[in-house]
């Protein structure tokens, strides 16, 4: 039976090893806000969000005080806004973006996600309008996050959407060039996007979810690393067991916080996402876990194998601590948000090709990678296509969050601050994939998609 005493042994982890709850995210369905008049729809959206989430931040703060557990972010995810745009023919989708920002400000949350569209098999009403509005929407808001699902293991990869998203990522960087190109840092392109993901920038509230739900995202890379350094001579089997036991403790804390928040807010508890989410803080790095396993530097040969071990052990330990594990659940490897990844990229050990290989065995993909500002839209699209192919064939979630650093070149630094950290501009292959990208159409789903 889960109770507060189960959490007492984690106090040292909280104080000394950067253990925290990364986010409690309230998912809110906006399907009942659909209206052909966009102004009326926006009024309904604002009213529903502020009604449902009015106590989210205060409840999170109360839980922090009650259990002494840091909850870094309080967030909201909503129904993919393209579904609402579909009913408002001829209207400007950015009105929804501004409404979501206004609601986020009123509720006091850190981020609001769901400026999204699901186009893995093609574009339906509202999708193109929303996608084309993304650069402006991310430019005129500060806390809004956007995501587009362009492929799945069942549908294949929508290459028309892939081409378009390369252009959108580049334009989002250009229109926010005066703010460290922050636009694409809030934009994720998915394959196999989960509907219950509490982590930004990819969070949206899926149509199969309840009307309102609480999802929790835990963290804890520092805790795992601290556990491993105590056993420098352990075998690989023993390393896996240590990680599983540590992941159990971390996830147990997330289960407690989620259950408590659900009760206090009178909202159903959804899932615990047991991902190891790093930060730029020293001692809170997934890369440093891999180095504690035995690598001189993250990115060297053996990194993919060590990451596979870590990811599998985290999942096995986590599922024993919660009956409802979901979201992404694994080890994140965002370059700019992980102190060890930043160091490895800057010293030349970690390259984008190695990161792509690592994404085949972890969550979630090529994340928070800064690339030269003169990168072409076609090259961005090709990187998205490569990553989507890994997700499609391996039946897992993959994603791309690239930041073209306008006016900067390889070796320069882009500074975001906060959890987004800073990132070195990484080198890319400059040979053109334009002919491939311009063909359009859809990459067929793999054979294993036929399961019925």
Q: Fill in the DSSP letter of residue 426.
A: P
Helix ranges (DSSP H) in 178-319: 221-228, 236-265, 286-293, 303-319
- Sign of the Cα pseudo-torsion (53, 55, 61, 64, in order): negative
Q: What is the pLDDT along the chain (452 residues), one digit of tens a residue?
A: 445 545 555 555 554 445 678 889 999 999 999 999 999 999 999 999 999 999 999 999 999 888 888 888 899 999 999 999 999 998 999 999 999 999 999 999 999 999 999 999 999 999 999 999 999 999 999 999 999 999 999 999 999 999 999 999 999 999 999 999 999 999 999 999 999 998 988 999 999 999 999 999 887 777 888 888 888 889 999 999 998 888 888 888 888 888 999 999 999 999 988 888 777 776 678 899 999 999 999 999 999 999 999 999 988 888 887 878 888 887 888 888 888 888 899 888 999 999 999 999 987 789 999 999 999 999 999 999 999 999 999 999 999 999 999 999 888 888 887 777 788 999 999 999 999 999 999 999 888 877 76
Q: Are 204 and 80 spatial neighbours (Cβ–Cβ below 8 Å)? A: yes
The CA-to-CA distance between both ends of the chain, in Å, stands at 38
Q: For residues 264-299, b (16+ Cβ closer than 10 Å) or e, as one string?
A: bbebebbbbbbbbbbbbeebbbbbbbbbbbebebbb
- Cβ atoms of 134 and 117 within 8 Å: the answer is no
Contact 362, 307 (CB under 8 A): yes
The domains of the chain, with CATH numbers, are: 29-191 (3.20.70.20), 214-449 (3.20.70.20)
The dihedrals phi and psi of 300, each to the nearest 5 degrees, come to -75, 175
What is the distance between the alpha carbons of residues 72 and 60, in angstroms, rounded to a whole number? 9
DSSP helix/strand/coil, 272:
strand
3-class secondary-structure state, position 76: strand
Q: Give the pTM.
A: 0.92
């Amino acid at each position: 039976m889960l109770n507060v005493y189960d959490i007492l042994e984690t106090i040292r982890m909280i104080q000394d090893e950067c253990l925290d709850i990364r986010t409690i995210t309230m998912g809110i369905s906006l399907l009942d806000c659909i209206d052909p008049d966009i102004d009326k729809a926006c009024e309904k959206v604002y009213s529903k969000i502020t009604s449902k989430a009015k106590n989210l931040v205060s409840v999170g703060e109360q839980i922090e005080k009650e259990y002494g557990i840091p909850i870094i972010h309080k967030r909201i995810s909503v129904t993919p806004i393209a579904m609402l745009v579909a009913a408002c023919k001829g209207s400007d989708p950015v009105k929804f973006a501004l409404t979501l920002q206004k609601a986020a400000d009123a509720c006091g949350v850190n981020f609001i996600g769901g400026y999204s569209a699901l186009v893995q098999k093609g574009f339906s009403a509202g999708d193109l309008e929303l996608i084309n509005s993304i650069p402006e929407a991310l430019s005129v808001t500060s806390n809004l996050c956007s995501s587009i699902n362009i492929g799945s293991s069942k549908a294949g990869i929508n290459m028309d959407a892939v081409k378009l998203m390369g252009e959108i990522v580049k334009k989002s960087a250009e229109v926010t060039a005066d703010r460290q190109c922050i636009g694409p840092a809030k934009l994720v392109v998915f394959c196999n996007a989960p509907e219950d993901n509490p982590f930004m920038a990819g969070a949206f509230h899926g149509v199969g979810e309840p009307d309102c739900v609480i999802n929790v995202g835990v963290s804890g890379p520092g805790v795992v690393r601290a556990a491993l350094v105590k056993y420098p001579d352990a075998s690989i089997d023993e390393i896996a067991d240590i990680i599983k036991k540590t992941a159990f403790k971390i996830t147990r804390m997330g289960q407690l916080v989620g259950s408590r928040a659900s009760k206090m807010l009178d909202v159903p508890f959804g899932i615990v996402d047991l991902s190891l989410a790093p930060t730029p803080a020293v001692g809170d790095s997934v890369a440093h876990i891999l180095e504690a396993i035995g690598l001189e530097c993250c990115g060297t040969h053996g990194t993919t194998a060590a990451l596979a071990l870590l990811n599998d052990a985290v999942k096995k330990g986590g599922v024993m601590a919660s009956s409802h594990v979901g979201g992404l659940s694994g080890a994140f490897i965002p370059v700019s948000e992980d102190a060890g990844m930043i160091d490895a990229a800057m010293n030349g050990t970690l390259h984008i090709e190695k990161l792509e290989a690592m994404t085949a065995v972890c969550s979630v993909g090529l994340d928070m990678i800064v690339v030269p500002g003169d990168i072409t839209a076609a090259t961005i699209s090709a990187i998205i296509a490569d990553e989507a192919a890994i997700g499609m064939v391996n039946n897992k979630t993959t994603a791309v969050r690239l930041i073209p650093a306008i006016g900067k070149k390889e070796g320069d630094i882009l500074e975001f601050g906060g959890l987004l950290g800073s990132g070195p501009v990484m080198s890319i292959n400059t040979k053109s994939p334009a002919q491939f990208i311009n063909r359009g159409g859809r990459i067929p789903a793999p054979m294993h998609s036929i399961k019925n």
